[in-house]
Amino acid sequence: MADLSGILNVNKPTGVTSFWAVKQVKRILGVKKVGHCGTLDPLAEGVLVILLGRSTKLQNILMGGNKVYRAVLKLGLETDTGDVTGKTLREFPVPRLETAAVREILDSFLGETEQVPPMFSALKYGGRRLYELAREGKEVKREPRKIIIHSIELLGIEGGRLEFRVECSRGTYVRTLGEDIGKKLGCGAAVETLCRERSGDYTLATALDGRQLQGISREDLLTHCKLEIENIKPQN
């Protein structure tokens, strides 16, 4: 079925790249053209929308939908990547944090704002990925981008860690948001865990466990693909 087209919602596991998931789907289904709607770092897990064949033309439409992430920040730490996998740059004592004050800080990020993409990202500069340049110790100027934080909810504070859930627009980097939260708290922060719970209309509840991609048959994988694409519309 060389002309197979469709959409596959995968729960990408931690420890692998988004490219790994795409490569597995491509190998299993024998489809030449496969893409995805938004890179997840190896640290992150969650919804990865994979497009097959002619459905790759829908990438811009599907990527335009809002995203929902759940993140845990390790407080008192700043790294070069914005998460705990990076090189430690600074460490700080973590002050006593009052719930009401933390909620007020989180609420300060609501609405439209500008965010500078991190060097450790998949954006391209001069034909190369920014993370490739960052690994060589290089830093280039990045233009700020408009983003919208639709909602942000404090889920808990315990043991020097802060957990929150955020609904945001396309192009929002949660690692950068976490760093900015840490700065306002006065103690720095780095993402420890990150899960994309929703991308547009695609949720974890309907996602295929990405760990199954190592052993699933072509027939079984096809049962998880949405093959009807005519009614796809811009998502919120």
- Structure token digits, residue 173: 């980097």
Residues 162, 184: one domain?
yes
Mean pLDDT of the chain: 92
Q: Quote the CA–CA distance of 135 and 137 in Å, as a whole number.
A: 5
Residues 72, 143: one domain?
yes
The domain that contains 110 carries what CATH number? 3.30.2350.10
Residue 235: its pLDDT value, please? 53
Record the pTM.
Answer: 0.91
Residues 111, 190: one domain?
yes
Residues 220, 113: one domain?
no
Helix (H) or strand (E) run with residue 182 in it: helix 174-185
Query: pLDDT tens digits, residue range 25-77?
Result: 999 999 989 999 999 999 999 999 999 999 999 998 998 999 999 999 999 99
Q: Is residue 234 part of a domain?
A: no
* DSSP symbols for 53-118: GGGGGGHHHHHTS-EEEEEEEEESEEESSSBTTS-EEEE-PPPP--HHHHHHHHHTT-EEEEEPPP
Domain membership of residue 40 as a residue range: 6-64+200-226
Q: Is residue 50 part of a domain?
A: yes
Task: Give the total number of structural domains in the chain.
Answer: 2
Residue 78: its pLDDT value, please? 97
Residues 34, 111: one domain?
no
Task: Categorize the per-residue pLDDT at 236 as very low, low, confident or very high, splitting at 50, 70 and 90.
Answer: low
Query: pLDDT tens digits, residue range 147-196?
Result: 999 999 999 999 999 999 999 999 999 999 999 999 999 999 999 999 99
Q: Which residues belong to the active site?
A: 41
